[in-house]
Amino acid sequence: MRAARRMRTLRSQCAVLIAETTNLENRREERVSTSLPVNLGSTTGVTRDVSASGICFETDESYAVGSPISFEVQMDAPGGKMVLKCRGEIVRVEPRGGRVGVAVKIMESKLEAVS
């Protein structure tokens, strides 16, 4: 009985390690933790982290995994204010204490100066 229980525990731990390793290997770009305003058209959000290929932000509105999304991220740069206009696909949605965490794979982006 003890051996069977230990074996189940080991299998569970291995499954978690494999999942974590696979998830890390799928990330190709370095993430930067930052809080920047996100304009989602009908609502707003705040970034949690950003990479060259994706973004994670929090908002009050719910979204569906697999849905296309367009948004703008506003930022200050040495030359003045900039806006990053993006189109992407929602890859993860998770509740976060009354808000919604949304992870997006960026498919297309354009950086523009704010005039």
| Integer Rg of the chain from CA | 18
Q: Are 39 and 57 in contact (CB under 8 A)?
A: no
Rounded distance between C-alpha atoms, residue 95 and residue 76, angstroms:
29
Asked if residue 109 has pLDDT above 90, the reply is: yes
Digit-coded pLDDT (tens) for 7-42 = 444 344 433 334 443 444 455 678 889 999 999 999
Domain assignment present for residue 15? The answer is no
Residue 21: inside a domain, yes or no?
A: no
In CATH, what number is assigned to the domain containing residue 44? 2.40.10.220
69 within domain boundaries: yes
Residue 34 lies in a domain: yes
Among the residue ranges 5-9, 50-54, 88-92, the one predicted with the least confidence is 5-9
Residue 93 pLDDT grade (very low, low, confident, very high; cuts 50, 70, 90):
very high
Domain-located, residue 67: yes
Whether residue 7 is contained in a domain is answered as no
The tally of domains found in the chain comes to 1
Rounded to two decimals, the pTM is: 0.72
Q: What is the DSSP string of 22-76?
A: HHHHH--S--EE---EEE-SSSEEEEEEE-SSEEEEEESS---TT-EEEEEEEEE
For residue 83, give its domain range: 29-113
Confirm whether 23 is domain-assigned: no
Identify whether 3 is part of a domain: no
